[in-house]
Amino acid sequence: RTSSEPDDLLTLLIQANMSTDILEDQQLTTRSSHVNISLTFCVFRRRLTRRPGMQRKLRVELLQVATDSPTMDELNALPYLDTVVRETMRRHPPVPAMAHQAFVDDAIPVDTPYKDRYGRVRDHIEIKKDDLVVLPIISLNRRKEIWGEDAHEFKPECWEHIPKVAASVPGVWGNLLTFMGGPRACTGYRFALVETKALLFVLVHAFEFKLAIPAENI
């Protein structure tokens, strides 16, 4: 250390927060949380306008809350709000796919054998080091073998009794891969869910959403 370098704590803290890495992390956090929440709410609004009965049922539940500023625990205690959020995250995940790079050679087992391009029957997928593995989140969340024959329908009520296969999905939240799972799971998923529920609470509590034109003309 030279005599010209700062040695007081305040200056060191200021310099640490001006680091390029810190600024990039803040930029990533802002983009990933607020942009994804905005996209999710657009889906909510479309679903609520097309399903007036669902919107009324949700509003009745929200109006039963005794405060206009509910806590996180109070929001999480609303069962129908929770099922609507879960079903939206299942049918319309903010991130439809995720890619990971393999560090080592590996083999991924499959539940249904398939034929490769040479006609050979395979029960696994071979992965080589540095291969890019794309996880189709939206496809898995809508797969009939997991969620039943009505997997492509928007049905919040399905969360009252989810299929046995779906209950075994190792997602970090809600038996879904929307926020992934394991050590690579989304670290901010709790914040994203609370922010989503809070936004829905405020807007559905105060406004009624209707289609500007008949649904058949959309």
Which residue ranges make up the annotated binding site for heme? 186
Give the helix/strand (H/E) hosting 44.
Answer: helix 36-50
Question: What's the rounded Cα separation, in Å, for the pair 125 and 117?
Answer: 13
3 state DSSP class of 29: helix
Among 158, 149, 156, 193, residue whose Cα is nearest residue 172: 193
Measured CA to CA, the distance from residue 71 to residue 74 in angstroms comes to 5
Burial class of 87 by CB neighbour count within 10 A (0 to 12, 13 to 18, 19+): buried
The tokens for 156 are 């919040």
CA nearest 159: which of 148, 59, 200? Answer: 148
Q: Residues forming the annotated binding site?
A: 186
